[in-house]
Structure 1
Amino acid sequence: MIIAQLSDLHCTVPGERAVKRYDTNAALARAVERVNGLRPRPDLVVVTGDIGNGPKPGEYGPAAELLGRLEIPFLPLPGNHDDRQGLREAFGHLGLFPAEGEFLHYEHRVGGLRILALDTVIPMDVPGRLCDARLSWVEARLREDSGPTLVIMHHPPFLVGSGVMDPIRCQGGEAFEMLLRQHGNIAGVLCGHVHRGIAVPFAGTLGFCAPSTGMLLAFDPTPGAPPVWTDDPPGFALHVWEPGVPLRSHVLTV
């Protein structure tokens, strides 16, 4: 099974540019075209947050239209630049998000793999959080089924070695790691947020952050380093999963 991962789309209102520099809508259009043209074609696309750039009214229209061009089923989830209600309205037709409740968690199955999509957002803040309520949801799902499970979320629950992003990672990562280690069925933990492709051993499996489809951060491990946006080519990730085999991940540029 092949899973494509798009992340940190930062779609804007038509005519605007992210950080006054990047045409992220055009970049997403190119990424979607590239994914559609892959052979063999992926079985699924996961979109790990920051679908919008604000959140700001008018951003989810272009995002929904561009993601709607995918010829492969896709699973969206929120990031810190997203609005939960806006996502419900833009992508409710997919039948994934719960109609009610605070969080946009959901479960999806494809082939022999179960995917748990986690909402790590703290409204109006940049870091993420896995609070007791969210951890309880994960624990309940893991107790229900011991089959192979892939976790997708926006904020990484692990250190990635970035002076910019590590301070704004997901709070509660230690408790989350302990929970996952109690189960031997985690195929991987796929994240976004850091705007670079990064792989980290985590909870006895692979922790992976996909690059942004639209704009990449420069690598700087210096604590407190300022964010520096680069002209490095954006891209996406491809993950190859087979039962009983560790997840294999690749980064493709666009």
Structure 2
Amino acid sequence: MLIAHLSDLHVRPKGVLYQGVVDSNGRLVEAVEHLLTFDRRPDLVLFSGDLVDHGQPAEYDALREILARLPIPFLVIPGNHDDRENLRAAFADHSYLPARGPLHYCVDEHPVRIIGLDSTVPGSHHGHLDDAGLEWLDVMLSQDTTKPTLIMLHHPPFVCGIPYMDEYRYFDGDSLRAVVERFNNVDVVLCGHVHRSMSRRWARTVICACPSTATEIDLRLAASAPPASHDGPRACMLHLWTEGEGLISHTSQIGDFAGPSPFA
């Protein structure tokens, strides 16, 4: 199974630039077209939050218009820039999304089980799952303790070292870790939020953070570092799961580069 992973799209209403600078809508169009250039088409696409920038219905209208170009099934979760209810309304045709409450779900119709977690806190930018959400996750994982499983949430549940991102990270990572580490069939935890590729060992599995299709947040590690971003490089991820081999993750840069050349 080949799973594509895009994050932090930050779609704006038509004709409006992200942060007044970047054509995030055009960047998403390029990202969708990029997925269709692979020599093997992904079986599924995952979008790990911040689908739009201000949670406005007009932004979700623009997003759905762009995603109509994507001839591949896809799953979404919200990020801190999304509005939970406006997202639910915009994706009312996505039956895996619950009709009320946090947008947690489990899709179990593929060789890899996909669990989506809604780590958003309405009105805030940090991430959190309440006790009910953690209990729900435990129940979902307990239903099958052998099937390869992928968990997706927006906020990485760890300190990434970039001070202006860690100010609104997922703060109570230990509680989430305590649930996940009870199960040895979680192949990977996917997230977004940080607009960069990051990975680390966590809860007896691996976390992969996906770059943004819009901008890259600068890698600034000094405690006094001010927030900064660049218009690229942009990328998505590909997660290839094979029976007997498990899952391997690749980062794929989006854009035009010289080549191909006949060597490897």
Letter in 2 for 1:219: L
**For residue 145 of structure 1, what is the aligned residue in structure 2?**
144
Contact 1:238 1:250 survives alignment (8 Å): yes
**For residue 6 of structure 1, what is the aligned residue in structure 2?**
6
Which stretch shifts more, 214-223 or 161-170? 161-170
Which stretch shifts more, 217-226 or 131-140? 217-226
| Structure 2 residues not aligned, in runs of 5+ | 255-264
Between the two proteins, what is the percent identity of the paired residues?
Answer: 40
Root-mean-square deviation (CA, aligned residues, Å) is 1.3
SS of the counterpart of 1:206?
A: strand
Superposed, which structure 2 residues align to 1:113-192 within 5 Å?
A: 113-146=112-145, 147-192=147-192
1:243 deviates by 3.9
Aligned mates of 1:148, 1:16 — CA distance in 2:
41
Contact 1:78 1:87 survives alignment (8 Å): yes
Aligned mates of 1:131, 1:225 — CA distance in 2:
31
SS of the counterpart of 2:45?
A: strand
1:27/1:173 Cα in 2 relative to 1: closer, same or farther (>3 Å)? same
Contact 2:79 2:193 survives alignment (8 Å): yes
Contact 2:8 2:212 survives alignment (8 Å): yes
SS of the counterpart of 1:31?
A: helix
Contact 1:36 1:72 survives alignment (8 Å): no
Aligned mates of 2:152, 2:78 — CA distance in 1:
11
| Structure 1 residues not aligned, in runs of 5+ | none
Superposed, which structure 2 residues align to 1:224-239 within 5 Å?
A: 224-239=224-239
1:122/1:140 Cα in 2 relative to 1: closer, same or farther (>3 Å)? same
Letter in 1 for 2:46: V
SS of the counterpart of 2:211?
A: coil
Letter in 2 for 1:125: S
Aligned mates of 1:199, 1:187 — CA distance in 2:
13
Contact 2:56 2:86 survives alignment (8 Å): no
1:110/1:148 Cα in 2 relative to 1: closer, same or farther (>3 Å)? same
1:184 deviates by 0.7
Aligned mates of 2:244, 2:176 — CA distance in 1:
23
Aligned mates of 2:130, 2:102 — CA distance in 1:
11
Letter in 2 for 1:216: E
Contact 2:189 2:207 survives alignment (8 Å): yes
1:246 deviates by 4.7
Deviations 1:55-86 (A, max 9, x none): 22310011111122111100011000001111
Aligned mates of 1:36, 1:167 — CA distance in 2:
36
Deviations 1:175-207 (A, max 9, x none): 111211111110100000000111111111110
Runs of 4+ in structure 1 deviating by more than 3 angstroms, as ranges, are 243-246
Aligned mates of 2:118, 2:134 — CA distance in 1:
11
Superposed, which structure 2 residues align to 1:1-254 within 5 Å?
A: 1-100=1-100, 102-146=101-145, 147-254=147-254
Which stretch shifts more, 115-124 or 160-169? 160-169
Deviations 1:195-253 (A, max 9, x none): 01111111111101000001111101123532101133211111112245353211112
Contact 1:32 1:69 survives alignment (8 Å): yes
Aligned mates of 1:115, 1:158 — CA distance in 2:
21
1:167 deviates by 2.5
TM-score by length of 1: 0.95
Letter in 1 for 2:182: Q
